Amino acid sequence: MKNEQYILAIDEGTTSVRAILFNHAGQIVGQAQRLIQQSFPHPGWVEQDPLEIWNNTETVISEVLFQTETPPYKVRAIGISNQRETTVVWNRKTGQPIHNAIVWQSKQTNELAQRLKDAGNQDLIQQKTGLLIDSYFSATKIQWLLDEVPKARQQAEAGDLLFGTIDTWLLWKLTNGHVHATDMTNASRTMLYNIHTLEWDQDLLKLLNIPSSMLPTVHESSHFYGYTQEFTLMGVQIPITGIAGDQQASLFGELALEPGMTKNTYGTGAFIMMNLGQTPRLSEHGLLTTIAYGLDGQVSYAFEGSVFTAGAAVNWLKDQLKLVQDVTETAEQAQTAAPNDQLYVVPAFNGLGAPYWNQAARGAIFGITQQTDDKQLIKATLESLAFQTRDVLETMTKETGLPVKSLMVDGGVSKNEYLMQFQADILGTEITRAPLTETTALGVAYLAGLQVKYWPDLATIKEITRTTHRYQPHFSVTQRDARYAGWQRAVQATQLFAEDKHD
């Protein structure tokens, strides 16, 4: 349409950054994507170059506008979604990062996290932030950078350094250094933000010795953050009006906006979120309490269970084991595999997430026989994603008393037909897949569009939402519980091995 305007979503994930244009119907008009390199300086460490992330972001924005012949003035607003917890510290005067970004997966701050635990800070941190002490979150990453990068602490105490998760870094660059801000969802993943008072917690900043001058201003997820500066989009200043961490953006994109509504995003990891409504509650069984979104003066909360290795396990089959040439082949390979219900893969490549939170655990395979072949190993690896999801959902149901009647799924791995059917079978629950697997980008587009009245209200958005596919469970209760019991034994054995190894 000649006069149509669009919302531009920047979806900065762990392995790539994409720019996606959405129209009023919530449909993709065009998209561009660039990979982001990861470096592994030491075993367990994962880093990225913040300048590469920014340069690739600039590139994909230009590419999607060029490919769709969309002049920048037709972009009504921009939303930013990002890999969460990944930490950048840079000099406010030079704009230069002091070190690579430390990625959420990285284990280089395990020792700092363990010290916090050993000092008895777990209850304090969970009460304030809803999180469990783990190197996963930003706080220990900031502390590590200040301690390990020469002169960093002196610069920080002089007020010269800024911290941000990737959304903050991109916002700062897009606004040419005029805006240093983040949204509540990303702030709630730092282990420094009080989710009750909605402020940076001074007790925690003192505990970790982090100067408050480094921290961004925190706003709602749908908020006018600022304008792009002249040099970024051919002289056109476009409002940036939506920011959300990738999993919260996905929850919003699924419109899981009522208490008890639950989604799972199968990406590099798998992230299961249950909407808790406007009253936060703390988990007793390894779940995280997080801010789901801030909108129209109200804050909604969610339970989250983080599975560290999901799509990464599927990529492992291709990249390391060379069992397939393309990950899309895994569904057919699994469907044609000979039955082997005793084979279990526990893909704890970077430890175990919820509800175990075992950083020392590493991957394991159980039940191998002489008859075990490539197809069975592929099948067991896919099934591990479904088992890990059940771990989290059972914990959520136990804590809330809310049964999961239907699980909304999205993310790249949700296209795997074998996995989705097995997920329904092992849960005994209907699975509904979103029409777009890019619900993270769609969610932040909704948040940005609502702020500028591109969509007048949520009711308008709900009218355009559709479900692509439904998967109904076929297993009997006995069958699914027997399979799940085998998985639980495999996880228990994996953790026992980790304990023995570190005795």
* Cα–Cα distance measured from residue 241 to residue 7, given in angstroms and rounded to the nearest whole number: 10
Taking alpha carbons only, the member of 164, 23, 24, 11 closest to residue 79 is: 11
Q: Name 414's Cβ contacts closer than 8 Å, sequence gap at least 6.
A: 265, 266, 420, 433, 434, 437
* Cα–Cα distance measured from residue 129 to residue 85, given in angstroms and rounded to the nearest whole number: 14
Q: Name 478's Cβ contacts closer than 8 Å, sequence gap at least 6.
A: none
Binding-site entries for ATP: 14-16, 268, 311, 412
Binding-site entries: 14-16, 18, 84-85, 136, 246-247, 268, 311, 412, 416
CA end-to-end distance (rounded Å), the chain:
67
Using DSSP's 3-state secondary structure scheme, residue 300 falls into: strand
Q: What value does the CA radius of gyration of the chain take, rounded to a whole number of Å? A: 22
Eight-state DSSP code of residue 85? S
Residue 232, phi then psi, degrees to nearest 5: -85, -35
Instruction: Identify residue 51 by its one-letter amino acid code.
Output: L
Alpha carbon 308 to its chain centroid, in Å, reads 10
The alpha carbon dihedral of 363, 387, 133, 191 has a sign of positive
Eight-state DSSP code of residue 356? T
* Cα–Cα distance measured from residue 103 to residue 110, given in angstroms and rounded to the nearest whole number: 13
* Cα–Cα distance measured from residue 205 to residue 128, given in angstroms and rounded to the nearest whole number: 12
Binding-site entries for glycerol: 84-85, 136, 246-247
Strand partners for 344 = 366
Binding-site entries for sn-glycerol 3-phosphate: 14, 84-85, 136, 246
Residue 264, phi then psi, degrees to nearest 5: -130, 125
Using DSSP's 3-state secondary structure scheme, residue 174 falls into: helix
Between the alpha carbon of residue 218 and those of residues 184, 223, 359, the distances in Å are: 6, 10, 30
